[in-house]
């Protein structure tokens, strides 16, 4: 009888884990699910070129800008309460996005989804850690958390493409609603609230400076790429840069800064964060551009394009799971350097794509780069936490998560804008994007060919820059980092959780 009573108690933490993982998967998927859906959304809503980029990356900007802040709010007011409020906001934003009648409404709903999604990652990890008092089970649960987040990024385009084969574009948002409802019902049963005994004041001015600075700077980059740089773009961009500079200066004077700049004095931490940022910059930009390439240049149906992403998604997920064993064999420094070489080398293979053929190159590239992405997703946060004193492990983990989300948004903004500039310079001048051009009536075959070639030029320039950045940082990591990186990440995490 004792066994029968105890068994549900032992299973409850795992039910709680899978309850949180349902939302983790949604938040990760919504960073990439639109890559194959954008041609359909463009046809339905006719967004301008800069609206298209905002639809894609406003979500990532909101999430990345608010992660650290919501981590502090959860410490103070309770993480379970915060994550349930955030899930409700995420669900409402998803429902609005599914039926958005215009690009502006869709952008606003995506921002609302980002506001809800930003509550999940810092609070979800803390709740999961509290569910597992046993150190071995807790480490296993955290590994599953990280693998689920990576898998969500990988399967987002594939799932979106499969659904779009049979349903309208709104389905990529509508699928979130039942999952959110199920979470809200299960969370009070399987999860428990967690609060930190020590927390600092939330600096509202830092939040405003970082958020406004990022948005204004990227707006100037986007509009300048599509319409050309003018006085308005330069003025707004200058204000954005000034706001970000003010944010950085303010952090040096605060007792409890949102961004602990002192952590970046450690080269191991700095390289790890830069790796997390750049890997997602390249990931998001290539995912977005290759989604358009497969459908609008090669002419593959959305379902075929989704299936072409499957090998890379499988390899990426497997790499996340097997990263720890690889690190045991070759060491953390070698694994971190390999991350850059695999992503950079895989992405540069995209330079072999052409107007008439490129699916095989896409698969080969996504498989090679997928191994690197898997290493990055699993390795960066652990190395970053290992590099700092145990009392600063929480701040290091939050910065690592933030670098991923900002990288996901910045990739489309910056490298996507590079591709847009090339299309504006070399395209036929009919419209600002390839899909808008192809939708124009009475196009001649020469105009279609010129538009596709201009897009391909922009794609090649963007992936060339992305691949070169990864290889360069890989070289810096090899030259600057010590031969043996710190190994205390698990001990740091266990110590911090015990104190909380």
Output the domain CATH number for residue 27.
1.20.1250.20
pTM > 0.85: yes or no: no
Domain boundary among 218, 233, 253: 253
Residues 382 and 472 in one domain: yes
Domain membership flag for residue 209: yes
Domain membership flag for residue 129: yes
pLDDT band at 18 (very low <50, low <70, confident <90, very high): confident
Residue 489, pLDDT score: 43
Residues 60 and 143 in one domain: yes
482 C-beta neighbours (distance < 10 Å), count: 9
pLDDT band at 4 (very low <50, low <70, confident <90, very high): very low
Residues 233 and 112 in one domain: no
Taking the C-alpha atoms of residue 489 and residue 337, their distance in angstroms, rounded to an integer, is 19
Domain boundary among 188, 219, 253: 253
Average pLDDT taken over every residue of the chain: 78
Tell which residue, 396, 436, 417, 279, has the closest CA to residue 347: 279
Domain membership flag for residue 372: yes
DSSP code at position 302: H
Mean per-residue pLDDT, 368-386: 79
Residues 125 and 223 in one domain: no
pLDDT band at 242 (very low <50, low <70, confident <90, very high): very high
Give, for 307, the enclosing helix (H) or strand (E). helix 302-308
As a whole-number percent, the residues of the chain with pLDDT over 90 amount to 13
Residues 449 and 478 in one domain: yes
pLDDT digits (tens, 9 = 90+) for 250-298: 888 887 777 777 778 778 778 888 888 898 889 888 888 888 888 888 8
Domain membership flag for residue 5: no
Domain membership flag for residue 2: no
Residues 235 and 316 in one domain: no
Taking the C-alpha atoms of residue 116 and residue 122, their distance in angstroms, rounded to an integer, is 12
pLDDT digits (tens, 9 = 90+) for 79-128: 788 888 888 999 999 999 999 999 999 999 999 988 888 777 667 766 77
Residues 182 and 293 in one domain: no
**Domain span holding position 99:** 11-199
Which residues have CB under 8 Å from 374's CB, separation 6+?
A: 150, 315, 316, 317, 318, 319, 320, 322, 323
Residues 350 and 234 in one domain: no
Q: How many domains does the chain have?
A: 3
Domain membership flag for residue 436: yes
The answer to whether the beta carbons of residues 19 and 186 sit under 8 Å apart is yes
Residues 208 and 333 in one domain: no
Residue 468, pLDDT score: 94
Mean per-residue pLDDT, 369-382: 81
Taking the C-alpha atoms of residue 280 and residue 37, their distance in angstroms, rounded to an integer, is 19
Residues 216 and 309 in one domain: no
pLDDT band at 6 (very low <50, low <70, confident <90, very high): very low
Residues 152 and 133 in one domain: yes
Domain membership flag for residue 170: yes
Domain boundary among 199, 220, 245: 199
Residues 428 and 320 in one domain: yes
Residue labelled with tokens 């949180």: 20
For the CA atoms of the chain, what is the radius of gyration?
A: 22
> Which region among 62-66, 100-104, 389-393, 417-421 has the lowest average model confidence (pLDDT)?
389-393
The answer to whether the beta carbons of residues 433 and 51 sit under 8 Å apart is no
Domain membership flag for residue 6: no
Mean per-residue pLDDT, 338-348: 92
Taking the C-alpha atoms of residue 331 and residue 466, their distance in angstroms, rounded to an integer, is 26
The answer to whether the beta carbons of residues 38 and 305 sit under 8 Å apart is no
């Amino acid at each position: 009888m004792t066994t029968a009573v105890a068994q549900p108690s032992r299973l409850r933490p795992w039910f709680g884990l899978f309850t949180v993982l349902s939302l983790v998967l949604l938040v990760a998927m919504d960073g990439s699910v639109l890559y194959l859906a954008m041609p359909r959304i463009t046809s339905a809503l006719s967004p301008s070129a800069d609206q298209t980029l905002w639809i894609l990356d406003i979500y990532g900007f909101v999430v990345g800008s608010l992660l650290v802040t919501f981590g502090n709010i959860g410490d103070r007011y309770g993480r379970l309460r915060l994550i349930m409020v955030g899930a409700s906001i995420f669900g409402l934003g998803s429902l609005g996005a599914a039926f958005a009648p215009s690009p502006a409404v869709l952008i606003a709903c995506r921002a609302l989804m980002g506001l809800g999604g930003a509550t999940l990652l810092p609070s979800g990890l803390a709740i999961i850690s509290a569910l597992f008092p046993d150190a071995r089970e807790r480490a296993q649960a955290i590994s599953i958390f990280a693998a689920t987040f990576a898998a969500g990024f990988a399967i987002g385009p594939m799932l979106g493409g499969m659904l779009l084969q049979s349903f309208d574009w709104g389905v990529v948002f509508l699928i979130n609603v039942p999952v959110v409802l199920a979470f809200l019902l299960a969370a009070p049963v399987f999860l428990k609230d967690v609060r930190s005994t020590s927390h600092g004041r939330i600096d509202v001015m830092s939040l405003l400076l970082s958020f406004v600075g990022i948005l204004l700077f990227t707006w100037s980059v986007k509009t300048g790429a599509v319409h050309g740089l003018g006085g308005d773009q330069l003025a707004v961009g200058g204000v954005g840069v000034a706001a970000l500079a003010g944010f950085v200066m303010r952090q040096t004077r605060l007792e409890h800064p949102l961004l602990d700049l002192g952590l970046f004095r450690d080269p191991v931490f700095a390289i790890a964060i830069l790796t997390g940022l750049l890997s997602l910059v390249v990931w998001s930009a290539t995912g977005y551009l290759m989604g358009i390439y497969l459908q609008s240049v090669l002419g593959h149906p959305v379902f075929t394009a989704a299936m072409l992403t499957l090998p890379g998604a499988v390899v990426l997920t497997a790499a996340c799971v097997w990263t720890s064993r690889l690190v045991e064999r070759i060491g953390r420094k070698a694994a971190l350097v390999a991350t850059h070489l695999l992503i950079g080398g895989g992405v540069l293979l995209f330079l072999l794509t052409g107007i008439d053929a490129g699916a095989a190159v896409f698969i080969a590239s996504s498989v090679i780069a997928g191994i690197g992405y898997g290493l990055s997703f699993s390795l960066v946060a652990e190395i970053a936490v290992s590099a700092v004193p145990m009392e600063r492990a929480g701040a290091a983990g939050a910065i690592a998560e933030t670098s991923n989300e900002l990288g996901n948004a910045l990739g489309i903004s910056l490298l996507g804008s590079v591709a847009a500039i090339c299309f504006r310079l070399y395209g036929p001048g009919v419209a600002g994007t390839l899909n808008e051009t192809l939708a124009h009536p009475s196009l001649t075959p020469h105009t279609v060919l010129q538009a596709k070639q201009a897009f391909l030029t922009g794609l090649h320039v963007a992936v060339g820059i992305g691949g070169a950045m990864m290889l360069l940082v890989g070289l810096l990591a090899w030259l600057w980092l010590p031969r043996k990186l710190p190994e205390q990440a698990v001990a740091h995490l266990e110590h911090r959780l015990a104190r909380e």
